[in-house]
Amino acid sequence: MSIGREIAMARKRKGYTQETLSVGIPTSRESLAKYETESRVLPKDLHKHISEKMDDPQLFFHIWREAAGTVSIPLLNGEHVDHHPSSMMYMVQKETGEALEHLESICWFKPANAWSDREKDEMKQAMHEVLDATASMMNLVAILCDRYGFSMNDIFKYWQVSLKARKYTNS
């Protein structure tokens, strides 16, 4: 789905009118309407303003995908995904367990340049399992924010500060 339609859907989920949304971002209601109907291309510099103002988990995933392409976490919204928090918690446990199991089977002491093709394939499979676990965790955070009315912006800002305080990041 296009970014304009995603913004329109997120705006409706949040109960914003085009007028109320445009007040908090550097664009007019008229321009916003054109972005939503795709008669005008949404400038990249507005993505951040709109996503922060909307604070809509589904929109965050879409904008991330727009910016990062394939190097992003998808919104898990397929027919086999139950968004109830307990179901998502089960998915996190299952995917994390599979990832850890694959990681434990890797021969970590062997130099990468000495790995066989089979060992490289096993590493790729382990990375895919880690990505599955990561996606399930990120989606659980999004669902909890949405379900309980937490701001994803605030949750992520606090998390960023905690990473810095623990010296996991420099910025």
Q: How far apart are CA 9 and CA 18, in angstroms?
A: 11
Q: How far apart are CA 14 and CA 10, in angstroms?
A: 6
Same domain, residue pair 105 and 61 = no
Phi, psi of 78 (to 5 degrees): -75, 170
125 confidence band (pLDDT: 50, 70, 90):
very high
CA 112, 70, 7: angle at the middle one, nearest 5?
A: 155
* Residue at a domain's end among 19, 40, 68: 68
Q: What's the average model confidence in pLDDT over 142-157? A: 95
Q: Which two tokens stand for residue 93?
A: 């446990």
List b or e across 160-169, with b for residues whose CB sees 16 or more CB atoms inside 10 angstroms: eeeeeeeeee
Same domain as 21, residue 60: yes
Query: Which residue has 């895919």 as its token pair?
Result: 128
Look up the domain containing 35 and give its range. 3-68
pLDDT of residue 57: 92
Output the pTM of the full model.
0.85
Q: What is the pLDDT of residues 7-16, one digit of tens each?
A: 999 999 999 9
pLDDT tens digits, one per residue of 73-101: 999 999 999 999 999 999 999 999 999 99
Same domain for 17 and 63? yes
Same domain, 91 and 63: no
pLDDT at 155 over 80: yes
Classify residue 170: in a domain, yes or no.
no
pLDDT number for residue 132: 97
24 pLDDT more than 90: no
Q: What is the pLDDT of residue 168?
A: 96
Provide the mean pLDDT of the chain: 94
The SS3 call for residue 168 is coil
Q: Dihedral angle at the C-alpha atoms of 131, 120, 169, 57, nearest 10 degrees? A: -10
For the chain, the domain total comes to: 2
- Mean pLDDT value across residues 119-140: 96
**The pLDDT of residue 33:** 96
**Same domain (yes/no): 46, 105:** no
Confidence of residue 171 (pLDDT cuts 50, 70, 90): confident
